Amino acid sequence: MAETLIAGVGATDFGEHAGRTGRELFAEARSSALEASGVSGSDVDALYYGNYMGETAEEQSHQAPLMAAGIGTTNLEATRIENACASGGYAIADGVRAIESGAADVVLVGGAERMTNLETGETTAVLARAADELHEGRPGLTFPGAYALLADAYMDRFGGSRDALAHIAVKNHANAATNPKAQFQSEIDVADVLEAPTVADPLGLLDACPITDGAAAAVLVSRAYAERNDLEAAVSIAGSGRGTDTLALQAREDVTRMRAAESAADAAYDQAGIAPEDVDVAEVHDCFTIAEVLALEALGFYEPGEAITAAADGETTADGERPVNLSGGLKAKGHPVGATGVGQLVELTKLLAGTHPNADAVADAEVGVTHNAGGTVATAAVHVLEVDS
């Protein structure tokens, strides 16, 4: 099985890009990744591109050939991946599988989303389509409401508090404050979170990620290609896993456990030959503060009911024993849906390579994990990244 190396990464700033199209955003990220990699566009065998809401936001379907334009070759396979908020993570997984199988030596993975050009209500409605239309959409459940239900269920079963959730938001804003790619580069405190307007009790405005425009890309290559072309890659993808759960929350036996993420993590860890305790740093899908709690437990970093106080106890902060979301996470860096999973890969690659603004916090890190989830984690993609020796 061929090994997958990350030859280069690139991304736009995450935030509002008024007047810029999705194709323009992705062109910037794609060009940055190719330039950083030292790989000729003519060598790219395949493009796997994540996008969720292009039909509504830009009235544009059939985006794969559109985003392949400008790579430098038309002799490639181009595929759009749509798996809600996990679209980018699944694009990476398809790229890894293509290299591991020997079907490709060079793969461009990426994603983009244009969201801020829509009214907030319209964006909320489009995002709600990633839930079960019959059992959740028709009754009017949106994702803030769905994650509020998860937070209630979690705290009813295990305890916890709004204050503990607020520390997660505070931590991630502190990380984003030193990340020039982040949408929110300002710090907040616990009082700010607790006093913010309620979105869906017990979650407030500062418990939720923003609406975001942005794009991200990465060039993945086989080790054989890297050796033939004298490429040096600081980071490899040692494990890749995907998982699925029921779409509707009501069909799940236990809504406090994210089975899709557990399955994805188990597969990624098994392929990489590691255990949760071997992970030094993580980028997880914190679309809401409670989502970070659920992710940390699904990844095996904490037993069920224990992750709620991780940020408040300083365990997942920049100076903690296992920093989480040094990029700022979705919460503060931003969440351009189709780009998010690849954006996590970009951030973690830079952290492990020592080129990220917050890399000093994990100067000795050798193993990192990305966790990208779709909807209420009906789908999940987990990747294990390692410093390449």
Kindly report the CA angle at 112 between 111 and 114, in degrees rounded to 5?
160
Characterize the bridge pairing of strands 214-222 and 367-374.
Answer: unpaired
The catalytic residues are 85, 335
Q: Which helix (H) or strand (E) holds 10?
A: strand 4-11
Give the separation between CA 283 and CA 78, rounded to whole angstroms: 27
DSSP letter at 208 equals: B
What is the secondary structure of 114-160 as a DSSP string? --TTS-HHHHHHHHHTTS-IIIIITTT--HHHHHHHHHHHHHHHH--
Q: List, in order, residues 6 or more apart from 169 with CB less than 8 Å away.
A: 188, 193, 206, 207, 289, 331, 332
Question: What token pair was written down for 115?
Answer: 């969201």
Q: List, in order, residues 6 or more apart from 140 with CB less than 8 Å away.
A: none
Question: What token pair was written down for 247?
Answer: 């779409």
